[in-house]
Amino acid sequence: MQNLSAILYLVAAVLFILALKGLSSPASARRGNLFGIVGMLIAVITTFLIMDKPVWALIGGAIAAGGLIGAWRARTVEMTAMPELVAAMHSLVGLSAVLIAVASIYHTGLTHSPVQKVELFIGAFIGAITFTASVIAYGKLSGRFGSRAINFSGQHLLNLVLALSMVGFGFAYFATDSQGAFLIMIAIALVLGVTLIIPIGGADMPVVVSMLNSYSGWAAAGIGFTLNNPVLIIGGACVGSSGAILSYIMCRAMNRSIVSVLLGGFGAEVAETAAGPGGPRHYKSGSPEDAAFLMGHADSVIIVPGYGLAVSRAQHALQEFAELLGEQGVKVRYAIHPVAGRMPGHMNVLLAEAEVPYDHVQEMEEINSDFSNTDVVLVIGANDVVNPAAQKDKSSPIYGMPILEAHKARTVIVVKRSMNAGYAGLDNDLFYMDKTMMVFGDAKKVVEELVKCVAH
């Protein structure tokens, strides 16, 4: 049985790796999900086969309850709530790691080697930080806690003291096997998870979600050593490393370092408003009919979607509009910024849900050089990812951040509810350019009007 379980765990681990590879592209995402499901099923069945006197009623009840809740939530969650759902899932992974570690140190029949104690310590404190940090991220993303950064005097010093205290109690547990020291270490880590995330503004939330994904993977890997479970170690390491790589990519896209994200502050600056020191700024506005006329007579249109698209659930109507333009000979493409939306890949998922052809969706690096040769850019529900201040204003908090260069197009149409600043709290010079026309209203209603105008 030991040899068979090793082979089955290896098969499950390979399937997890194939799942991650499949999830790297919308075209192969379904296959990737299938690999992950089959791999997890094999891992769970194998674990049952090698368990010593399992409490079937307790385990079966937990699996049934979790499965029912998960199935219900998957069917009812709105796409706008997907980022906070992911954060909530990360919190559960972290909490699981903590509970397994606590159960392990209180297990009277177990004796831990020095290496296992270190693994328990690492898995437990990463899991604890992941749990509370994910809860705060969930609150910020859902609007329950507000998206603004929370800063106070001595914040970084407090984090340093908490981190050193956590490590100190971890050493105390290592030296004395004190269960009390281990629990205090976990309690400090739980507090540290809160103090690390509250100074991070809403604009950095996509990176935070990715970073927490990495944390949850490393927590799972650490506990995998404790349980002597190779598939948990491999799966956790894959999630941890892929999340770290994605966090790095996201930070590059925002011209940020992971250290600066953790220290917070981005999004906390006082934003300029339309009525700045120079008085009210002037912009041009138009109707959906005007916008439809401009795009219907263009040769090329690039659509830049943002979180406002998700909020209004306009992706299906938008794709219908794009198809109508295509039937009239207009070349239509979608431009995706790496941090568009509230989590990595948010816009890609929305467009895939609306059955937008994958070859019509292009990443920032692929499409940026085409904006200057584009007749019309339709910015719908986006703000910070097309803000020219990132390239021109050295005093701007987002200066140096790569953006979609929509301002280089011949004409820009922006669909927004109002002239309010975006999620980062910054005004956007693009909205005040002579080439820009603002169309105000709910994104879905505006796009539905565009569809009517082009269809007739």
Active-site residue numbers? 384
> Would you state the structure tokens that stand for residue 112, as one six-digit string?
């831990």
Q: Which residues contact 286 (CB under 8 A, 6 or more apart)?
A: 413, 437, 438, 439
> Would you state the structure tokens that stand for residue 62, as one six-digit string?
């937990």
Q: Which single residue is written with the structure tokens 């390979």?
A: 14
The dihedral sign for the CA sequence 254, 423, 88, 136? positive
> Would you state the structure tokens that stand for residue 75, as one six-digit string?
């069917």
CA within 13 Å, CB half, 52: 3
User: At what angle are helices 179-197 and 82-106 packed, to 10 degrees?
Assistant: 170
- Rounded-to-integer distance, Cα 142 and Cα 60, Å: 32
Q: Which of 288, 283, 282 is nearest to 443 (CA)?
A: 288
Amino acid (one-letter) located at 245: I
3-state secondary structure 113-181: CHHHHHHHHHHHHHHHHHHHHHHHHHHHHHCCCCCCCCCCCCHHHHHHHHHHHHHHHHHHHHHHCCHHH
411 beta partners: 376
- Rounded-to-integer distance, Cα 142 and Cα 81, Å: 7
- Rounded-to-integer distance, Cα 40 and Cα 348, Å: 25
Length of the chain (residues): 456
- Rounded-to-integer distance, Cα 244 and Cα 213, Å: 8
Residue 313 zone, left/alpha/beta (φ > 0; ψ -120 to 50; rest): left
Classify residue 285 by its DSSP letter.
B
- Rounded-to-integer distance, Cα 219 and Cα 223, Å: 6
Phi, then psi, of 112 in degrees rounded to 5: -100, 135
CA within 13 Å, CB half, 299: 7
